[in-house]
Amino acid sequence: MPLVTTAGFSPVPFNDEAALADATNEMFLDLAADTEAETLRGRLSDVELIQIQFGSFQDGRGFSLARRLRNIGYQGRLRARGHVISDQFRYALDCGFDDVEISAEQATRQPEADWISDRASGVSYRDRLRGRGLRSEVNDKADTLPVSVAEETGGYVSQPNVFEEQVTDVKHYTDGLFSFRITRPASFRFRSGEFAMIGLPNAEKPVFRPYSMASPSWHDELEFYSIKVPGGPLTEHLQRIVPGDTVLLGKKATGTLVVDALMPAKRLYLFSTGTGIAPFASLIRDPDVYETFEQVILTHSCRQQSELAYGHDIVEQAMADPLIGDLAKRQRVHFATTTREESARNGRITDLIETGDLFRALDLLPLNAVSDRAMICGSLPMVRDTKAKLEAAGLKEGSNNRPGDFVLERAFVD
């Protein structure tokens, strides 16, 4: 049975096999995926290896167990064994696994190259550029680009708390909205739903603004969804980035729109307006969310239909993704409305909650504190009014320190 690490395939060490087979050996634990991590608290300091069994490719409980073991302080080796596919390898590493033991049959179906490919092993795009000599290709291309921020650097000097990352992709949705991707530094960790500071090296002292990561925490690139504010200190320039340009990224990620800040329940509502959908674009592509909640309802309200396009895009991407596609198809609902232009669904989300139209359209009971949790991200009035509706239904606000029934973040500061 091959063992997969980021270096490739190797045989499982004989000592591990023998020690794991010995049920009395308390330094080598072989756990079922439904084990409660809490039952091991206080017993982990001497444990050398924990192996978690994966009975099916669809069953993600082993990933959650790994994460919880790491959260309660387990520092030894952590191995996933059984039904894990190469597309899940990067995610397994993010959850805290060191390696994965697969069957000989699966190793034939998915040979070493599938596992240590860039996406699976977590090699960043930056490394890819270096490793394959593509960096010079990008630079050559950037040299020929007519106008970009690459040409506007105003004496920026590298800072220790800031990464300098390369733009890999830019997509303009409307005159006022665009998304972009940048390389992800190997050491940049975040929880899906968090934000970090973004800037450009176009001045000696660049302007930084908070931006939600729109990509999920397991992805090897970072995606952002942005407004273009006419004359805006950052976005006036940011909207002109092209692949190959440098974007500055603060090293610390933070935020309250994270699954950890909510108590467990059946259903998760993600209420957004405008670019407030960005943190939810991250969350709806994270398998942890579908493990924690049976149903995930993403609502997105914008003035015009064209402003809903990014939401449709990420929902389609989620459904096509090999890692979370099946979960997203089964458990996620997308409810998009326009508030100015006529479309299939119209109205402000707070009005649709008030009248009950939202719940009737989705065939759900009105909000209640037993089965429902929520996150809100949008303009100040939208956040304030939605919060009032949730509180009227008995839901209580939570935070990272004190998980609750809903959490919120303003999508921008007026």
Ligand X SMILES: Cc1cc2nc3c(=O)[nH]c(=O)nc-3n(C[C@H](O)[C@H](O)[C@H](O)COP(=O)(O)OP(=O)(O)OC[C@H]3O[C@@H](n4cnc5c(N)ncnc54)[C@H](O)[C@@H]3O)c2cc1C
For residue 199, state whether it binds ligand X (rule: CB under 6 A).
no
For residue 339, state whether it binds ligand X (rule: CB under 6 A).
no
What values do phi and psi take at 80, rounded to 5? -95, 135
For residue 188, state whether it binds ligand X (rule: CB under 6 A).
no
- 314 vs 224: CA distance, rounded Å: 12
- 327 vs 323: CA distance, rounded Å: 9
Task: Choose the binding region for ligand X from 66-74, 77-85, 143-151, 208-216 (rule: CB under 6 A).
Answer: 208-216
For residue 251, state whether it binds ligand X (rule: CB under 6 A).
no
Among 225, 271, 290, 335, which residue interacts with ligand X (rule: CB under 6 A)?
225
- 119 vs 216: CA distance, rounded Å: 13
- 290 vs 268: CA distance, rounded Å: 9
Task: Choose the binding region for ligand X from 85-93, 207-215, 295-303, 328-336 (rule: CB under 6 A).
Answer: 207-215
For residue 410, state whether it binds ligand X (rule: CB under 6 A).
yes
């039904």: which residue's tokens? 83
What is the nearest approach in angstroms of ligand X to the Cβ of residue 212? 4
For residue 412, state whether it binds ligand X (rule: CB under 6 A).
yes
Residue among 233 and 403 whose Cβ is closer to ligand X = 233
For residue 413, state whether it binds ligand X (rule: CB under 6 A).
yes
Q: How far, in Å, are 52, 377, 389, 396 from residue 392 at the CA level?
A: 43, 18, 5, 10
Among 235, 256, 282, 350, which residue interacts with ligand X (rule: CB under 6 A)?
235
For residue 227, state whether it binds ligand X (rule: CB under 6 A).
yes
What is the nearest approach in angstroms of ligand X to the Cβ of residue 247? 12
What is the nearest approach in angstroms of ligand X to the Cβ of residue 209? 3
Among 156, 211, 271, 310, which residue interacts with ligand X (rule: CB under 6 A)?
211
- Site residues for ligand X, 136-155, by CB under 6 A, read none
3-state helix, strand, coil in the chain (%, to 5): 35, 25, 40
For residue 411, state whether it binds ligand X (rule: CB under 6 A).
yes
Q: How far, in Å, are 271, 274, 299 from residue 302 at the CA level?
A: 12, 6, 10
- 273 vs 387: CA distance, rounded Å: 14
Q: Which residues share a beta bridge with 162?
A: 250
Among 171, 209, 251, 345, which residue interacts with ligand X (rule: CB under 6 A)?
209
- DSSP alpha helix (H) spans, 12-131: 14-21, 61-71, 89-94, 104-109, 112-115, 118-121, 125-131
For residue 409, state whether it binds ligand X (rule: CB under 6 A).
yes
- Site residues for ligand X, 151-180, by CB under 6 A, read none
Q: Is 404 helix (H, G, I), strand (E, B) or coil?
A: strand
Among 210, 325, 347, 403, which residue interacts with ligand X (rule: CB under 6 A)?
210
- 326 vs 261: CA distance, rounded Å: 25
Tally of residues, the chain? 414
What is the nearest approach in angstroms of ligand X to the Cβ of residue 409? 5
- 174 vs 313: CA distance, rounded Å: 14
Residue among 215 and 350 whose Cβ is closer to ligand X = 215
For residue 314, state whether it binds ligand X (rule: CB under 6 A).
no
For residue 195, state whether it binds ligand X (rule: CB under 6 A).
yes
For residue 226, state whether it binds ligand X (rule: CB under 6 A).
yes
Q: Which residue is nearest to ligand X (CB)?
A: 232
For residue 278, state whether it binds ligand X (rule: CB under 6 A).
yes
For residue 272, state whether it binds ligand X (rule: CB under 6 A).
no
CB proximity list for 127: less than 8 A, separation 6 or greater: 118, 186
The answer to whether 287 touches 392, Cβ cutoff 8 Å, is no
Q: How far, in Å, are 115, 169, 183, 216, 229 from residue 127 at the CA level?
A: 16, 17, 9, 20, 33
Residue among 77 and 209 whose Cβ is closer to ligand X = 209
Q: Is 50 helix (H, G, I), strand (E, B) or coil?
A: strand
For residue 414, state whether it binds ligand X (rule: CB under 6 A).
yes
Q: Which residues share a beta bridge with 80?
A: 52, 100
Residue among 138 and 229 whose Cβ is closer to ligand X = 229
What is the nearest approach in angstroms of ligand X to the Cβ of residue 146? 22
Applying CB under 6 A, the site for ligand X has a residue count of: 25
What is the nearest approach in angstroms of ligand X to the Cβ of residue 207? 6
Residue among 11 and 231 whose Cβ is closer to ligand X = 231
List residues binding ligand X (CB under 6 A): 195, 207, 209-212, 224-227, 229, 232-236, 274-275, 278, 409-414
